[in-house]
Amino acid sequence: QKEVEQNSGPLSVPEGAIASLNCTYSDRGSQSFFWYRQYSGKSPELIMFIYSNGDKEDGRFTAQLNKASQYVSLLIRDSQPSDSATYLCAVLWRGGATNKLIFGTGTLLAVQP
Amino acid sequence: DTGVSQDPRHKITKRGQNVTFRCDPISEHNRLYWYRQTLGQGPEFLTYFQNEAQLEKSRLLSDRFSAERPKGSFSTLEIQRTEQGDSAMYLCASSLALASGRETQYFGPGTRLLVL
């Protein structure tokens, strides 16, 4: 069973701080990693993807990947109340005809004004 | 807006009734996925299509569930004889499969099903 693990939170940070969200995955052969943001009652919205070890930055968001440790993280700088949401980590599982995202349960982020 | 669309957005039905959901993917995308999400959980894979071919069905998809993508464009997901345990958000996603094997899935707004 391919697994993706996240701390469910809530992770509470003050406005303007850096929020750090973490994710581990079990399949060492995984190559593609994604972070989705999901507001309550809404569908997941893609915010970052990363394929290679190291950091990838996009605006206030930085994704970090360490394949040796099977670890993915998302940093949100200058956190805003509008960032308050559940952040879902997902790994693309490919094998034969199989092609699907495996999601963690999500981390609830609360940014306090 | 050229994103993934789903219809209806909400559906309330009585146990034992049949329901059908529709998904229209992003126009140039050749892959279409169905996921199901219950409260407090991440989305779980149900099935996916490459063009009109259904390539995989999850064991979560009982015989009461059927999905089609007849012309490789829109897709329908039908649930027959609904049960209360079918209550969930049904999410559709689409992607463009690349030769590199990399793909990015974009989700529609979802259909929230409540079975009474």
Q: Which residues pair with B115 in a beta bridge?
A: B13
- Please report which confidence band the pLDDT of residue A52 belongs to, taking 50, 70 and 90 as the band edges: very high
Contact A53, A67 (CB under 8 A): yes
Instruction: Tell me whether A33 touches chain B (CB under 8 Å).
Output: no
Give the pLDDT of residue B37.
98
| Longest alpha-carbon distance in chain B | 45
The yes-or-no verdict on residue B72 having pLDDT over 60 is: yes
Segment (H or E) for A108: strand A107-112
Per-residue pLDDT tens digits for A96-112: 777 899 999 999 999 99
Q: Are A113 and A15 in contact (CB under 8 A)?
A: yes
Out of B43, B55, B102, closest to residue A51 by CB: B102
Residue A1: the pLDDT is 65
> Which of B9, B92, B107 to mutate: most A Cβ within 10 Å?
B107
HSE-up of B112 (CA within 13 Å, CB side)? Answer: 8
Give B98→chain A minimum CA distance, Å. Answer: 13
Q: In this structure, which amino acid lies at residue B13?
A: T
Q: Compute, in degrees rounded to 10, the torsion defined by CA atoms A8, B43, A75, A62.
A: 170
**pLDDT at B49 > cutoff 70:** yes
Report CB contact under 8 Å: A43, B107: yes
- Give the pLDDT band of residue A18 (cuts 50, 70, 90): very high
* pLDDT value at B1 more than 60: no
Running DSSP on this structure, what letter comes out for residue B16? T
